[in-house]
Structure 1
Amino acid sequence: MFSPEGPSVRELAVQALSSVERGYDLLAPKFDHTPFRTPDPVLAAVESVLRPMGPFGTGLDLCCGTGAGTGVLSRLCREHVTGTDFSAGMLDVARERVRPDGPPVSWVRADARALPFAPAFDLVVSFGAFGHFLPRELPGLFAQVRSVLRPGGRFAFPLVAPPRPGTRGYWALLGFDTVMRVRNALWRPPFVMYYRAFRLGDVRRELDRAGFRVELYALPEFGRRHDGSPRVRLVVARTPDGPAAPDGPVSRGRRRAGPR
């Protein structure tokens, strides 16, 4: 599961008993050697779907971690790319490792629930971060994303279909989420990471409520389930083409760091 360069069991245990922010600060130097990093085939598949929708001017990698998705944006955007994350340690690694050949890249430490940006982006992407948000936080999170997009801008992220009940994958995810809930009931600070909480039906409903127009794209590279549905979809949520509302967002100061 982990390469020899990845974290030890002890290091993972220390991370799991820390806050989310502190845990990722500790994990950052070895994060790219864990299965938590978004695999390159997923990044390539997302890029192939988004490319015909461009070109884009500016892009934001939301909860960027060590910058895997930032590299995708640097190939899709012409003007500027920003990576934002709540973990200073992850951003430090991203600054060292991401060397895009495209537009300039900026790194900003920020809370995804209180983004310090004006509506300046044409494309926002996010990879593998939504398990760190509780279902009740989705309305605010999606409202924040919409607030930083220009009219007609897009918010895109891959979403893996849940395993069928009774399968090994189903029990593995259920077991992980159960362990995390017990851990958070007994230990402080909490570590929010639930693999089963981010569901397509809830996601579509909250994106609609936030004013997005939602489209789904199958990523055929990852096959289909027994019922014929895609194993992995790309969710693309687009803002209306008209001007922002009069009470729309303005540039904000830096806020407290939050979940990745």
Structure 2
Amino acid sequence: MSHHPPAPRPIAHAGYQDVPDDAGSAAARGWWDENAAEYLDEHGGFLGDAGFRWGPEGLTEAEAGLLGDVAGARVIEVGAGAAHCSRWLRTRGARVVATDVSARMLAGAARLNDVTGVPVPLVQADARSLPFASSSADVVFTSFGAIPFVADAGRVHAEAARVLRPGGRWVFSVTHPVRWAFPDDPSAHGLTAHMSYFDRRPYVEIDDAGEVRYAEYHRTVGDHVRDVVAAGLRLRDLVEPEWPDWNTAAWGGWSPERGAYLPGTAVFVTTRD
């Protein structure tokens, strides 16, 4: 009996279309399990050299200070991947737990715990159903995790609000919503809008058996604001990092060429009243 997962079926269709919410949301776990090793090989160095980056532009938490003073704070990271951010926070005195839906991403995090000598507790959990008590955290955050990959992002915000103490912070970064209107191309071709910013159909990949293998959901700036307000959170800041001169590398559709003209990342800073 093989202990290796079956080879993924070939993608038969990729594009923007409506799919059942449960199918699109369920695809995230499998996709990240399949692609964890490749993702960490490609991006692990960039993510790990500064410890905590909010997006491909390279903005660090050390520069931005969006989480506030974390020394002694109880912190939960959702969509943590290999837990680079949580590991950096631990060196700053935070009592942090890293969570992710993907077992293979967490396996990568466990290896880095051993290699770096800065271990953080790891918990496999869906961001929409966190295994933590209400009002038990001072800070909850995610850097590009969870929110783009589920149809019901409101549940992610609601869970963050639930586990936060009054006055606690929920900070999340996502692909800047305006980028949805432009092709995911790091060259000059990615500077011409090709679809409506208001088209909320997810980008999906479907295999030849008709199974949704990947889904990424678009929300406008207004959608994100309404979601956090509905969760009982107050928007405190919206950070749109500019592309820095030192960063000459492309990451998927992010690049210096596009970054000079278009925002690539949006970081929402909210608090629980």
- Closer, same or farther: CA 225–211 of 1 in aligned 2, 3 Å: farther
Alignment of 1:1-260 (within 5 A): 14=9, 19-34=27-42, 39=47, 42-43=53-54, 45-47=59-61, 48-50=63-65, 53-56=68-71, 57-76=73-92, 78-98=93-113, 105-118=120-133, 119-129=135-145, 130-134=147-151, 137-161=152-176, 162-163=178-179, 165=181, 168-169=189-190, 170-171=193-194, 180-181=203-204, 183=206, 187-188=210-211, 190-194=212-216, 197-222=218-243, 231-240=264-273
For residues 38 and 158 of structure 1, the distance between their equivalents in structure 2, rounded to whole angstroms, comes to 17
TM-score (norm 1): 0.68
**Count of residue correspondences:** 219
Q: CA RMSD in A?
A: 3.8
| Residue type of the alignment partner of 1:191 | R
For residues 121 and 105 of structure 1, the distance between their equivalents in structure 2, rounded to whole angstroms, comes to 16
1:58 deviates by: 1.5
Could you tell me whether the CA contact under 8 Å between 2:30 and 2:213 is conserved in 1? Answer: no
For residues 178 and 140 of structure 1, the distance between their equivalents in structure 2, rounded to whole angstroms, comes to 19
Could you tell me whether the CA contact under 8 Å between 1:216 and 1:236 is conserved in 2? Answer: yes
For residues 160 and 20 of structure 1, the distance between their equivalents in structure 2, rounded to whole angstroms, comes to 16
**Counterpart for residue 244 of structure 1:** none
| Residue type of the alignment partner of 2:215 | M
| Residue type of the alignment partner of 2:126 | D
In structure 2, the gaps of 5 or more residues are 1-6, 13-25, 184-188, 245-258
1:150 partner SS? strand
- Closer, same or farther: CA 146–49 of 1 in aligned 2, 3 Å: same
Could you tell me whether the CA contact under 8 Å between 2:11 and 2:207 is conserved in 1? Answer: no
Could you tell me whether the CA contact under 8 Å between 2:9 and 2:208 is conserved in 1? Answer: no
For residues 149 and 62 of structure 1, the distance between their equivalents in structure 2, rounded to whole angstroms, comes to 13
1:101 deviates by: 6.9
